[in-house]
């Protein structure tokens, strides 16, 4: 019998608990990622890295909204050649599965970055096909089932490591996109990235973010993300990682009941502190005990009506 009720297995990765650090929150540093592992996360995901370095947008890149954060950083990153040595080092430091988020401007680029990340030691790659505002990458790929299929197929051909696909909520039918990703060979689906949003300063009468449009995360998007997970689980067999506004253990349990095998936490970390992982894991454990479940596996998708 499994003695750890929180352990979960997905996409070939063994997680000691279902909480993971979401991409984008803590950047790339192996030390800060390991601090999150020590604080209780079951896995960590880096900020997205591309084939070549990218400066990103000028400030302001982040703005506080009522129930969340709107960001448009513009995918700033050191490029995979530079980051590969950090990945090698991270593998000697990290005590939990290490997932490298990658993006590209073509299927070939996604495949090249994923291959380099995997070769350097990433335990899995998460494809960012859902950044809502950088041109010719992100959601411009993830909103198009044909392009998405090409990207996933090429990445799968380039590496034997698990391939997780992070989906955009900014689509008409997320199930159609999830089905395409699953058919192309995705090992897991992260649902979802940020919701397209804008903030305007009444004083200056201008948009606040330098890029004008950004992506909303945090409690404001939770019901949308939860619906995405529910809809995907109903129709698609590929394991799901829930992401979007998860702040409390109850949020995490709701995502698992909707169909997620694990959850990612991002904005809550920016707004609280790393203890959020332990607090959420303790709450899930207490919930399982109270409801007399032996493991979270018993409650994955339990809220589905059919
Ligand atoms: C950014 O770097 O602007 C955010 C990336 C994302 O939302 O995927």
pLDDT tens digits for 231-253? 999 999 999 999 999 999 999 99
Mean pLDDT (whole number) for 205-222:
98
Residue 237 lies in a domain: yes
Closest CA to ligand 1's atom 6: 131
Tell me which residue of 180, 181, 52 sits closest to 112, measured CA to CA.
52
Rg (CA), the chain: 18
Residue 3 lies in a domain: no
Closest CA to ligand 1's atom 7: 131
Exposure class string for 183-208: b at 16+ Cβ within 10 A, else e: ebebbbbbbbbbbbbbbeeeeeeebb
Answer yes or no: are the C-beta atoms of 55 and 123 closer than 8 Å: no
Answer yes or no: are the C-beta atoms of 7 and 294 closer than 8 Å: no
Mean pLDDT (whole number) for 65-84:
96
DSSP 8-state symbol, 74: -
Closest ligand 1 atom number to CA of residue 128: 8
Main-chain dihedrals φ then ψ at residue 111, nearest 5 degrees: -65, -40
Ligand 1 contacts CB of residue 21 (under 6 A): no
The rounded distance, in Å, linking the Cα atoms of 124 and 175 is 23
Answer yes or no: are the C-beta atoms of 260 and 229 closer than 8 Å: yes
The rounded distance, in Å, linking the Cα atoms of 269 and 34 is 14
Residue 34 lies in a domain: yes
Distances (CA, A) of 86 to 94, 97, 127, 203: 12, 15, 19, 43
Number of domains in the chain: 1
pLDDT bucket at 51, cuts 50 / 70 / 90 = very high
Ligand 1 contacts CB of residue 195 (under 6 A): no
Mean pLDDT (whole number) for 78-106:
97
- How many angstroms does the Cα of residue 225 sit away from the middle of ligand 1? 17
Does residue 2 carry a pLDDT above 90?
no
The confidence score (pLDDT) of residue 194 equals 98
Task: Supply the residues annotated as catalytic.
Answer: 131
Ligand 1 contacts CB of residue 214 (under 6 A): no
Ligand 1 contacts CB of residue 75 (under 6 A): yes
Residue that is written with structure tokens 């809220």 in the block: 303
Ligand 1 contacts CB of residue 170 (under 6 A): no
Mean pLDDT (whole number) for 193-202:
98
Answer yes or no: are the C-beta atoms of 107 and 137 closer than 8 Å: no
- How many angstroms does the Cα of residue 74 sit away from the middle of ligand 1? 6
Tell me which residue of 269, 211, 296, 200 sits closest to 5, measured CA to CA.
296
H or E element at residue 241:
strand 240-243
pLDDT cut 70: percent of the chain above it: 99
Residue 2 lies in a domain: no
Does residue 1 carry a pLDDT above 60?
no
Ligand 1 contacts CB of residue 215 (under 6 A): yes
The rounded distance, in Å, linking the Cα atoms of 141 and 144 is 6
Residue 51 lies in a domain: yes
Residue 139 lies in a domain: yes
Residue 178 lies in a domain: yes
Report how far apart the first and last C-alpha atoms of the chain are (Å, whole number).
28
The confidence score (pLDDT) of residue 187 equals 98
The confidence score (pLDDT) of residue 87 equals 96
Mean pLDDT (whole number) for 258-282:
95
Task: Tell me the CATH number at 187.
Answer: 3.20.20.70
Structure-derived torsion over alpha carbons of residues 285, 291, 296, 299, reported in degrees to the nearest 10: -150
- 113-170 pLDDT, tens digit per residue, is 999 999 999 999 999 999 999 999 999 999 999 999 999 999 999 999 999 999 999 9
Tell me which residue of 198, 195, 210 sits closest to 57, measured CA to CA.
210
pLDDT bucket at 271, cuts 50 / 70 / 90 = confident
Please provide the size of the chain in residues: 306
- How many angstroms does the Cα of residue 297 sit away from the middle of ligand 1? 31
Ligand 1 contacts CB of residue 169 (under 6 A): no
CA atoms within 13 A on the CB side of 100: 34
Closest ligand 1 atom number to CA of residue 76: 2
Answer yes or no: are the C-beta atoms of 83 and 76 closer than 8 Å: no
Closest ligand 1 atom number to CA of residue 166: 8
Q: The domain containing residue 129 runs over which residues?
A: 8-305
- How many angstroms does the Cα of residue 248 sit away from the middle of ligand 1? 23
Edge-first strand order for the sheet with 68-71 is: 62-65, 68-71, 213-217, 195-198
- How many angstroms does the Cα of residue 243 sit away from the middle of ligand 1? 14
Answer yes or no: are the C-beta atoms of 139 and 150 closer than 8 Å: no
Residue that is written with structure tokens 């391939």 in the block: 163
Residue 35 lies in a domain: yes
Q: Is the pTM of this model over 0.95?
A: yes
The confidence score (pLDDT) of residue 27 equals 78
pLDDT bucket at 69, cuts 50 / 70 / 90 = very high
The confidence score (pLDDT) of residue 26 equals 82
Ligand 1 contacts CB of residue 194 (under 6 A): yes
The confidence score (pLDDT) of residue 234 equals 97
Closest CA to ligand 1's atom 8: 131
- How many angstroms does the Cα of residue 133 sit away from the middle of ligand 1? 8
Ligand 1 contacts CB of residue 131 (under 6 A): yes
């Amino acid at each position: 019998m499994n003695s750890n009720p929180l352990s979960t297995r997905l996409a070939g990765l063994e997680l000691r608990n279902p909480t993971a650090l979401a991409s984008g929150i803590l950047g790339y540093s192996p030390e800060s990622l390991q601090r999150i592992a020590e604080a209780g996360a079951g896995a960590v995901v880096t900020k997205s890295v591309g084939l070549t370095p990218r400066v990103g947008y000028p400030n302001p890149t982040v703005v506080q909204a009522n129930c969340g954060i709107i960001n448009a950083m513009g995918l700033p990153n050191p490029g995979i050649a530079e980051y590969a040595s950090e990945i090698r080092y991270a593998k000697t430091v990290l005590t939990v599965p290490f997932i490298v988020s990658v993006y590209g401007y073509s299927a070939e680029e996604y495949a090249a970055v994923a291959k380099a990340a995997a070769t350097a030691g990433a335990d899995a790659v998460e494809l960012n096909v859902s950044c809502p505002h950088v041109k010719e990458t992100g959601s411009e790929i993830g909103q198009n089932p044909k392009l998405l299929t090409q990207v996933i197929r090429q990445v799968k051909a380039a590496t034997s490591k698990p391939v997780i696909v992070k989906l955009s909520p900014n689509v008409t039918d997320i199930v159609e996109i999830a089905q395409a990703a699953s058919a192309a060979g995705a090992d897991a689906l992260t649902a979802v990235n940020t919701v397209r949003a804008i903030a305007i300063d009444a004083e200056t009468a201008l948009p606040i973010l330098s890029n004008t449009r950004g992506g909303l995360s945090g409690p404001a998007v939770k019901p949308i993300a939860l619906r995405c997970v529910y809809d995907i689980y109903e129709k698609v067999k590929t394991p799901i990682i829930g992401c979007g506004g998860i702040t409390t253990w109850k949020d995490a349990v709701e995502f698992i009941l909707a169909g997620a095998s694990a959850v990612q936490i991002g904005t809550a970390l920016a707004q609280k502190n790393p203890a959020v992982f332990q607090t959420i894991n303790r709450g899930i454990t207490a919930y399982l005990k109270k409801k007399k479940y032996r493991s979270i596996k018993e409650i994955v998708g339990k809220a589905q009506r059919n």
